[in-house]
Structure formats: structure tokens, C-alpha cells
Structure 1
């Protein structure tokens, strides 16, 4: 449905987007994910035709639309803010969206269909100022979908909503996207939003594409240190290969065993970054440390109770901080001696 080839954007001497390429298949929900200023919104705006690319091309359904005006690309766009016309009713906002795409005025059934889809049928005669922020966002989606575009572009559409409403809206957006079966490209800096909603995530950093793939693939198999550190939480160890049988890395005061199928010959002599996700770390009292591989004793330096779990930071004797999840029903206190353990298969190598 969408193919971006070598897309680049300079603002004067500032390189905002650096040779970015990716594909999105028909019906996929894809997300451009990265920190503020990484070029993701600029990329989205070039796809929409709102920003002219310095070089590179945008293809929709196999056709190069790089020089096509935005209103001729058959793209639905939802901005960070609702961007509804305040003097128009909800119905008039949708009707205006149809008009701008060249549809005639006789589309009452189409308008009714999408108002029902976003659960706003009872508010058709209301003006935006009479609606809550979440309701305004629903109308923005309905207006972007009512003329049934080839692709829907979402520019941080949940900005400004509280946490509970954000979670409700992202579930609704995904359900609507699947019901309509519209190819969607979203932009966000929120990792949980990207991982929970997307079929494909394209991670960007400093204007470049770092890695693209399914959420689980990026989380479990990051190809760069940036992806490993940006997506979710991890404990990082740095060291060099110290043994081959079993595969072992010396990281400061720790000897960390790797999975037995790791090709250490390829890694021999290299400096490695090892990452372990907190859900892969087991914790116990220091007295119960079982002495199996990758078991280290440290001191609890921070505890945060999050209702369903406790999040612990455990400082080892070389000042490495290990992040682990504990049972919220257990009591942990700063200063407690605690053992952390993780299996060799739980170690990701970058």
C-alpha cells in the first residue's frame, strides 16, 4: 500500500530525515516510533504531501505520488489536536470532509455509518466546543475516514489525553482500524502505545530508521543499542567474551553465561552490550541464592509499588543497577540484600 524510498529532508543545513525507507502492506497498522525531534512527524508530513521532500519518493498503491498535491493523494489525516471547525456541528464537519474530497452532498448514510462507528450518533448536531476532548478526537477520526481513504495517517492523535482515556482510545482506534480494514500509519513517542496497537513498528532516531519489524521482534531481538534501550526497560552489562564452552562474557565483576547456541567465535575479542529485560529476572533473598548461572547478590536501592507489581532497582557490588519485577504482595525495603538470577537464554546481545 505504501512504500517510502530514500526519503530525505533538509531544513537549511539541518538534516531532519536521513535516507529513510520502509514498506507498509495493505491493511497493516504501522507506527513510526522515536523520541521527540527524531524526524517521525516530518516523515509523516512528507508522506501526506504537507512537507516537500529534499529527495526520495513516496509510492501509494505502486504509484509515485511525490509530486501529487495532498488533496489528490486520497489520504486521511488526524492531527495531534482535533482541528475541527468550531462553528460547524459534528455532522457538518464530516460533510465538509466529504466535500473537500470531491463528494457531493448526498451522503447521509455514509455520515451516519461513521458517526455510529465512533459512538457519536447522539452528538451529530453538537458543536466541538460542547464535546469533551475524547469526543472531539472521535469526530476527527470519523472525518478522516468518512471518504474512505487508501491510507490513514495519525500524527500523535492521543496527545493531551489522560492515561485512562488514552488507553481507551487506543483500543477503540485499533478496533475501528480493523473493522474498516484501512492501512494506517501512526506517529508516537509512547512505547506502550506503539507496541500494543501496531502490526509493524519503525523505530527512528536522529532522522534515521534504526529498525523495523513486528513489536515482539523489536522487543526480543533489537539490532542496535538504541532500540534495546528505547523499547521497554533493560539491565545493561558491558564486557568481552571470556570463554567459549559454555559461552561466557566477563562484564566488570560478573561472569555472564550466554545461551549455548551462541557463536562466540564471531564475538571473540569484541566489546559487547548485553541486555536483560526485567520480566526475565528472578529475585529471592540473598540466603536463598541457588548458585546457578547468572546469579548475583546486591542491595535494593529503590522500590516502586505499581499496584500489580513492585519494580525494584538492585545495585550490585560494581555499581551495576539491575531492574527487576517483584510480587506486589511481598515487602521490599531499600537496603535489603537480594539475589537476582536470569537464564542464559534471557540475555540479548547487541
Structure 2
């Protein structure tokens, strides 16, 4: 699948050579940074955009030239797009009535109000609702015509964290109960972890990696994927810690996850590097150690307070030892991150 746009600056490849298969009855997340092509792909699937090349098939049937109405999809937009002059019930009933579906519309509305936790809100108007309630109405309206495919564009982006968490659980339960195949766009990794059966990770219009979120995090195929999914540290490839771990590379930097780095009170193994605790902070249920290696490199590591009391409890200025399996370190060039700000910071460290 390709989608190109002609702009004043030349050809923009919004979607380039994308091949995605979505299993029926599952939730698939299109994940990636802003401008990576995920919303464009969602619009192509919905029929809101026409592909430059390629085809879209539902259950083996080519839908590329079908109209939006003929695709039988439900779509929720980032801004909800509710009709303010209509009640909640009228918003939900709009689709079935316009399409003249042969169903009991009032019964369908009542069913969806109950399913989305909005029973008793049918007579209210969108401006009278909270952001979370408006999102539920948008979801109910998208489901009103019993679509074969549900498309969600950043469904929780405008909500505060507590409401977002509650709605994520509700959405997962609703989709599971109905069994509708769902594709959602998000730039939020936690949202993908929470909701999706599978994830398609986008980078500059291309699919960088696809699969289960835990598999992508454990086995990233590129520096971009490792940098985007989960926490990472960027270390100079020539620093003392990397050399002590036995890793040699021609690339200027090495990426490693903090969770793969271990602290020790004594010199336990050959591949280990001494450091000094220069500060320690306790926040909530965690303890954060700030370390400095003998070459001046600084690193901070987070552990649980329970783990700290049982294994560490190091003091400031105490000598400690740090290790990491070198197979978990990934050498990279700054340009491979496709992140101009990170690239600028890293290049400045090279002098």
C-alpha cells in the first residue's frame, strides 16, 4: 500500500510499501510518532483517502474502490465529531436511521447506552457531558450499525490520565464482548500495551516492525524500534562501562535498557564495572541511584524500595559494581533514531 502527496516541497510519501494483515476479532494498534503514516493508513482503510498504489481487502474481498458506506466500518475521530444539537440518543441513532437499517433503532440505542455505561444519559446533549462521556457516545455511535470493522483515531488523546485508564479498560471489554475487529491509532506505548493484541510500529511511512507488543519490546529489529518502545539509555560506545562489558563496535553510540543493567555490592564476575553512588532519591515506591563511572560517565538506575532494602541500600559515595549482558546492547548511529532532537543532542556529545 502506498499513499503519496504532491506538495510545494516535492513528493511526500505518507505511506510507503505497507503490508498489514489484521486477524478477525482482535485489536490492532498502529503505533508510531506523529507524522509516521498511521492515521493516513486508517483513513485509507475507511475509504476517506484513495491509495496511490495497492489494495485494501476485507476477508479477501477487494474494497479499494468501494465507497465509505459500502465498507461497513465504524469510525471515531480525535475530536469525537458529535452533533451538538442532537441528544446522546439521537447521535447514536443517526447512523442506523440515515442508512435505513431494518432494526429496532430505539432498542439498539438502549443496548449501546447500557454497554458503554451511559444508561440514563440518552436525553442529554454533548456539551452537558464530560470528555470521557463524549468519547463513550462516539464509540456507541460507531457501533450503532454493527460494523464489521471499528476504526479508532487516537481515541483517548484528549482525556486526563485517570479517565483514559478507565476508558481503556471499558473499550477492551466492549470490543471483546461484541467481537468486532478493531484498528486503533495511537502514539502512546502504554495504550498499545493495555489494549492491543498486536501492534504495527510505523516510522516515516513504513512498517518498522509488527507483532505482539511484548515481542517487539524484547526483540527490536532496529535502533528506531528499541528507542521508541520502552525506556533506553544512550551511551558512548567508547565509554568505560561499554568496554568493560566486552562490546566493541564502529558505531558511536550504544543503546541499553535500564532494566537490563544490574547493580552489585561486590565484584562478582569478569564483565563488571565499578562506579560511585553520587546521589540517591526516594520517590513513592522506588529508589533512584545516580552513579558515576571512573571515566566521568553518569547513569541513573531505578529499583523498587523493597528490592533496595533487600539487596542494595547503598549510601552516597559508596563504591558499587554494574553489569549488563552485552547481547542486550544495541550499537547505533544517531540518524537511525529518526528523531532530530535526539540526533542533535547525541551529535553534540561527540563534539
TM-score computed with the length of structure 2 as normaliser? 0.82
- Residue aligning to 2:94: 96
Structure 1 segment 313-332 matched on structure 2, within 5 A: 314-318=291-295, 320=297, 322-328=299-305
Q: How much has 1:101 moved relative to structure 2?
A: 3.6
2:347 corresponds to: none
Q: Structure 1 39/122 Cα, relative in aligned 2: closer, same or farther at 3 Å?
A: same
Whether the 8 Å CA contact 2:240–2:293 is kept in 1: the answer is no
Q: Pairwise mapping of residues 265-280 of structure 1 onto structure 2 (< 5 A)?
A: 275-280=255-260
Q: How many angstroms does 1:98 deviate by?
A: 1.5
1:235 deviates by: 3.1
Q: Is 1:122 aligned to 2:104, yes or no?
A: no
Give the 3 Å change call, closer, same or farther, for CA 47–328 of structure 1 in structure 2. same
- Indicate how the Cα distance of structure 1 residues 269 and 333 shifts in structure 2: closer, same or farther if over 3 A, else same: closer
Task: Show the counterpart of 1:340.
Answer: 322
CA contact (8 A) 1:94 1:143 kept: yes
Return 230-239 or 150-159, whichever deviates more. 230-239
Deviation at 1:271, TM superposition (A): 5.3
More strand by share: 1
The answer for the alignment partner of 1:85 in structure 2 is 83
Q: Distance in 2 between matches of 1:301 and 1:42?
A: 48
- RMSD over aligned Cα atoms: 2.9
The one of 240, 243, 248 aligned to 1:254? 243
Conserved 8 A contact 1:235-1:323: no
Specify every segment of 5 or more residues in structure 2 that has no aligned partner in the other structure, as ranges: 333-351
Change (3 A) 1:311 1:151: farther
Among candidates 258, 268, 283, match of residue 291 of structure 1? 268
Equivalences for 1:18-167 in 2 at 5 Å?
18-104=16-102, 106-167=104-165
Name the structure 1 match of 2:3: 8
CA distance in structure 2 between the partners assigned to 1:303 and 1:116 by the alignment: 50
Secondary structure in 2 matching 1:113: helix
Deviation at 1:297, TM superposition (A): 2.7
Aligned residue pairs total 324
- The TM-score, its normalising length taken from structure 1, stands at 0.82
Partners of 2:316 and 2:29 lie apart in 1 by 39
Q: CA deviation at 1:296?
A: 2.2
Does the 8 Å contact 1:225/1:273 carry over to 2?
no
Secondary structure of 1:122's partner? coil
Aligned residue for 1:24, secondary structure, equals coil
- Describe the shift of the 1:54–1:116 C-alpha distance in structure 2 as closer, same or farther (beyond 3 A): same
Q: How far apart, CA to CA, are the structure 1 residues paired with 2:56 and 2:263?
A: 50
Q: Please list every run of 5 or more consecutive structure 1 residues that lacks an aligned counterpart in the other structure.
A: 1-5, 241-249, 259-267
CA contact (8 A) 2:28 2:184 kept: yes
Contact persistence 1:10–1:17 (CA under 8 A): no
- Matched-pair contact (CA < 8 Å) for 1:293–1:341: no
- Assess, with a 3 A threshold, how the Cα gap between structure 1 residues 314 and 64 changes in structure 2: closer, same or farther: farther
Structure 1 distance, partners of 2:101, 2:303, is: 57
CA distance 1:181–1:321, change in 2 (3 Å): farther
Q: What's 1:262 paired with? A: none
Shift of residue 188 of structure 1?
A: 0.7
Task: Please identify which structure carries the higher helix content.
Answer: 2
2:287: which partner in 1? 310
Residues of 1 paired with 2:24 and 2:242: CA distance?
A: 50
Q: Contact 1:281–1:342 (CA<8 Å) still a contact in 2?
A: yes
Aligned to 1:281: 261
TM-aligned CA deviation for residue 212 of structure 1: 0.4
Alpha-carbon shift at residue 122 of structure 1 (Å): 1.1
Q: 1:74 to 1:253 in 2, by over 3 A?
A: closer
* 8 Å CA contact retained: 1:309, 1:327: yes
Change (3 A) 1:269 1:339: closer
